[in-house]
Structure 1
């Protein structure tokens, strides 16, 4: 009886090891010198430990060279960053890449070898993200997607590999962290610029359709512009349907973040678009009527 009991116990423990513990990411073993250099690098550069190790390994654990390499890396486009991570896999990232490829294959369209509209809807449903909410836009920004409702292999696998997320649970957690990251003014400006190129109906267009511009302004600037509703109503009243060019899009964010609520610091002689002049004139008139 004892032998039978211990045999059953051993079998159960073996199954647990095989199907649970073995799937856990192995602990990264570093030499004392590598641990020291890792701490030095992380004291100067804020990034995830997995990312730090990728760059340190590439630069043979030389901290000054690694810092220089990383600073050059973050200046690249997110697509180039994704390709970098796909080509510079450290040993512990091999399993992460396989997990991400399994997810990509689950959602991809077999004809195009990309995650298309249907796959995107299923993916967002699985990570519990509303595709019409700002969190979806934040996700595509950080993984470097270029088109609506579409993820290429490089964007999905490379992007999440760069962000050190290899399963749906980690992705859900990361989205919350990335949303908080946009509280940094410089990062939000980069995000805002990204939205213009991402939101165009055609990548070759030099403008964004007004309906799209209104949708995205309403989505991302609700908490930043106190007159957003008035601005949107003003645009909808225009006699001719206008198109929003990149300079107008960029200057509008400057307008939102610098002009006072009474518009006293708005200078019509400055290089603001005529559209802004007309909006300010209308708002001043309404403010005067309330006095």
Structure 2
């Protein structure tokens, strides 16, 4: 049997070296899977996942479209327009979650609330929730009805009693028709720092918005009547 030539041996070595880019192909395939999943829910005429697509996604994920987990998913994507996910936002969110299939996404979404609370990112998410409700250009405040819904969704699980009282006050007061970001941010700090069983600890001289001064006065009057 003839011996292999040196030229053939060198050719064999070249073939062996050519397999090195395989990991890059694998990464490309993963990106395509994310894109294909986006296309499953996207409105192809606008190349966005619109409200109908999000509702379909929620159904497949087994969560209601009003569930805080969907708001957290929008936060992961850094979504800019309420009710819509762009392809770039979708890729960013799924990359952040480390998922590329619907079953993986479902598992990640179902654990989002625990992750956000434990990771120390809740305050960032809390402020995002407000900004996500700014649906018009140059809008700086959110109407009271929406704020009450948002309080129940975002802070209700942590501070049920406090949220119920604040929502009750916001619904009956007539001084404010909308809430800005500074007021919204102060609600969370207020719930963390002020003991509702001892309102004497509330110092109106500190940097609290006037809306909270009025809320505390309302709470005190309510307590005296009872």
Q: 2:64 aligns with which of 130, 134, 147?
A: 130
The unaligned stretches of length 5 or more in structure 1 are 1-88
2:165 is the alignment partner of 1:213 = no
Tell me, in whole angstroms, the C-alpha distance in 1 between the residues paired with 2:109 and 2:116: 11
Q: 2:179 aligns with which of 244, 269, 272?
A: 244
Q: 1:282 aligns with which of 188, 206, 218?
A: 218
Give the Å deviation of 1:159: 1.9
The aligned runs of 1:2-21 (5 Å cut-off) are none
Q: 1:228 aligns with which of 149, 160, 163?
A: 163
CA 1:207–1:179: 2 relative to 1, 3 Å: same
* SS at structure 1 position matched to 2:142: strand
Tell me, in whole angstroms, the C-alpha distance in 2 between the residues paired with 1:281 and 1:270: 15
Q: Is the 8 A contact 2:48 2:87 kept in 1?
A: yes
Alignment deviations for residues 37-81 of structure 1 (CA, whole Å, 9 cap, x no partner)? xxxxxxxxxxxxxxxxxxxxxxxxxxxxxxxxxxxxxxxxxxxxx
2:177 is the alignment partner of 1:258 = no
CA 1:185–1:270: 2 relative to 1, 3 Å: farther
Tell me, in whole angstroms, the C-alpha distance in 1 between the residues paired with 2:64 and 2:178: 28
Tell me, in whole angstroms, the C-alpha distance in 1 between the residues paired with 2:158 and 2:95: 32
The unaligned stretches of length 5 or more in structure 2 are 1-22
* SS at structure 2 position matched to 1:199: coil
Aligned residues: 202
Alignment deviations for residues 140-179 of structure 1 (CA, whole Å, 9 cap, x no partner)? 1112212222110101123212322111100011113322
Give the TM-score normalised by the residue count of structure 1: 0.65
Give the Å deviation of 1:250: 0.8
2:113 is the alignment partner of 1:158 = no
Q: Which runs of 4+ in 1 moved over 4 A?
A: none
Tell me, in whole angstroms, the C-alpha distance in 2 between the residues paired with 1:174 and 1:266: 40
Give the Å deviation of 1:91: 4.9
Give the TM-score normalised by the residue count of structure 2: 0.82
Tell me, in whole angstroms, the C-alpha distance in 2 between the residues paired with 1:127 and 1:207: 31
Q: Is the 8 A contact 2:73 2:93 kept in 1?
A: no
Give the Å deviation of 1:138: 1.3
CA 1:168–1:239: 2 relative to 1, 3 Å: same
2:109 is the alignment partner of 1:172 = no
Give the Å deviation of 1:235: 0.7
